[in-house]
Amino acid sequence: MADKAKSPGQVHAGHRQRLKDRFLKSGLDHMEPHVVLELLLFYAIPQGDVNPLAHRLLDRFGNLYGVCSAPVEELTQVPGVGPNTAVLLRLLLPLCRELLRQQNETGDRIIDAQTAYQMLSPFFLGCKEEAVGLLLLDSRGRKLYCGLVREGSVRTAPIYVRDLVRLVVAYNADSAILAHNHPSGSPVPSAGDMQATREIYRALDSIDCHMSDHLILAGDEFLSMNGAGLLQAATRDEDGPIHGAFAADGAEFVY
């Protein structure tokens, strides 16, 4: 007796299960971007072949990061993307950000630039524009607050000072670590960054809060202005030029 031909639904069901088994066995290692996206789309589109949609999304937005950071309005312009699919795709970056934040929620003292970076960096995941983050510590270097203050350039210091002072007072913080990102470029501080650092340092100092560091994030790199000696230069010298930047040396903070 001849075998019955499988229906398209059965074929796709078998393909879906094979991809799931592949993921459970090997994770995402060596999995092509369209296959990763296809696997994800299974959970928004329960039936049918989603491979063409995965390719359309990558063609439109370039890569997985581009897909997951695209506005909902643009996602739903892609044929085959409905509200549920758009929400699922947009959920991923905030979810990753929260997972990283919780992973770094150790309760330990923040003793150097590296541990401060690990605490602050998840908040910048997916930021396409400049944003300013703040880590507030007690007298023993334990975290009181950590998060983004607002989006926008740190060089608009007068705007941020009000928010920073309000948070410092609310948490009765003894020290603060500022952070901002350079979405496209290196972590080398500009003259504007130095000036903003000076203004914020003085504002916090006036309410007895010591600014321990200012981190500048760029991609997977970061620079510690304290570790590079630039924090001291910014707060000591009114008009001195920036002579370069150096890798953060992991110098411990003093409380």
- pLDDT score recorded for residue 105: 65
Is the confidence at residue 104, as pLDDT, over 50?
A: yes
The total of structural domains in the chain comes to: 2
- Edge-first strand listing for the sheet containing 175-181: 143-151, 131-137, 175-181, 210-218, 221-224
What's the mean per-residue pLDDT of the chain?
84
Condensed to tens digits (0 to 9), the pLDDT of residues 238-250 reads: 544 333 333 333 3
What are residue 196's phi and psi, to 5 degrees? -65, -40
Check whether residue 142 and residue 40 sit in a common domain: no
Check whether residue 47 and residue 24 sit in a common domain: yes
Check whether residue 127 and residue 230 sit in a common domain: yes
Is the confidence at residue 70, as pLDDT, over 80?
A: yes
CA distance 147 to 124: 9
Check whether residue 73 and residue 146 sit in a common domain: no
Q: State the residue range of the domain holding 127.
A: 107-236
- pLDDT score recorded for residue 11: 52
Say if 120 falls within a structural domain: yes
Condensed to tens digits (0 to 9), the pLDDT of residues 10-67 reads: 556 789 999 999 999 999 888 999 999 999 999 999 999 999 999 999 999 999 999 9
- pLDDT score recorded for residue 150: 77
